[in-house]
Amino acid sequence: MKRKRLSFLRRQIALTIFVGALPFIINASAHAEATGESKWLDDYHQPVGLTYGAKATLNSTYIWRGLYSGATNVQLDANVGYGGLYADMWWNIGTEEWSFTKFQPEVDISIGFERWGLNVYVLYIHNFNCGFFDFANYADKGNRLELNAIYTVSSKLPLSFRWGTRVSAADGYLNEQGELKYAYSSYAEISYTQALPYDLSLFGAVGLTPWRSVYTGYRSGFGVTNIDIRLRKDWTLSEHCGLMLMGQLTLNPYLLATDKESVAWHVTTPWNQSINANIGVGVYLK
């Protein structure tokens, strides 16, 4: 059984790398034949020297990959990089549901490499319901470790493809025999950002899970988990500081198809909602 899991893990890692790198390989081949006037797909900024950034956002709702993940919250983020290598730390401090009876802290740590439109990174998620270095598999709690790859065509064609797979720690479910099984929960997404006048931007995304995973509550296989629409407005405060206001609407088609009552407003169990919205305001350094 352990050998089968390792073999499956190797296939998932290879698939993650392949999906993320395939568009880059195709684009690199096309670029090799392009003239100087046709390099619009190759306008990536090459990081030079030390880079850093930070931001703080107040949100009405915490929505993640089509899943309701918390109510009103403050989210903080800080990152540092050099030559494409980077490290990022993200914090969430907020309530779990709309009765405001339980708080849900979270910290995410990412280490990755970004160049030529390809961003490959390892993501560690800690929810403070177990030890920080506890990588055991649980059915209802625990840390999470993911491999992720994102490819963006260019700033002139901001079409992005994402793939993420959990490779360790909390991602288990009990099968019919009561045995704890590892799911290797995976998420794929295609998104596009359209720049609009007056420093407005419109973002749209469709996400899915290819097999039984946390995104379907470990109940079934393939499912379209989110259709997102987000409108954002930015204000430049200084050369290195900005302010943003955004509104987001998310539909979870899988949840809607499996539970017709999920369109109702659930105050104490909002994770049962198939329609969620978020309003956020934030300040950032760049």
DSSP-assigned letters across all residues of the chain: -HHHHHHHHHHHHHHHHHHHHHHHHHHHHHHHT--GGG-TT--PPPP-SEEEEEEEEEES-EEETTEEEESSEEEEEEEEEETTEEEEEEEEEEBSSTT---B--EEEEEEEEEETTEEEEEEEEE-SSS-TT-----SS---EEEEEEEEE--SSS-EEEEEEEEEEES-EEE-TTS-EEE---EEEEEEEEEEETTTEEEEEEEEEESSSSGGGTTS-S-EEEEEEEEEEEEEEEETTEEEEEEEEEEE-HHHHHH-GGGGS--SS-GGG-SEEEEEEEEEEE-
Given a cut of 80, is residue 81 above it in pLDDT? yes
Write out pLDDT tens, residues 175-215.
888 888 889 999 999 999 999 999 999 999 999 999 999 99
Given a cut of 90, is residue 249 above it in pLDDT? yes
Contact criterion met (CB below 8 Å) for 51 and 82: yes
Write out pLDDT tens, residues 114-146.
988 899 999 999 988 888 888 877 766 788 999
Q: What is the pTM of this model?
A: 0.81
d(CA 167, CA 121): 13
d(CA 229, CA 199): 17
CA atoms within 13 A on the CB side of 143: 20
234 — pLDDT class (breaks 50, 70, 90)? very high
Domains identified in the chain and CATH numbers: 2-34+66-285 (2.40.160.40)
d(CA 146, CA 124): 7
Bridge partners of 274, per DSSP, are none
The more confident residue out of 27 and 117 is 117
Contact criterion met (CB below 8 Å) for 92 and 128: no
CA 277 to chain centre: 17
Q: Could you identify the residue written with the tokens 């709309």?
A: 98
Q: What is the pLDDT of residue 14?
A: 53
63 — pLDDT class (breaks 50, 70, 90)? very high
Write out pLDDT tens, residues 86-114.
999 999 999 888 777 888 899 999 999 99
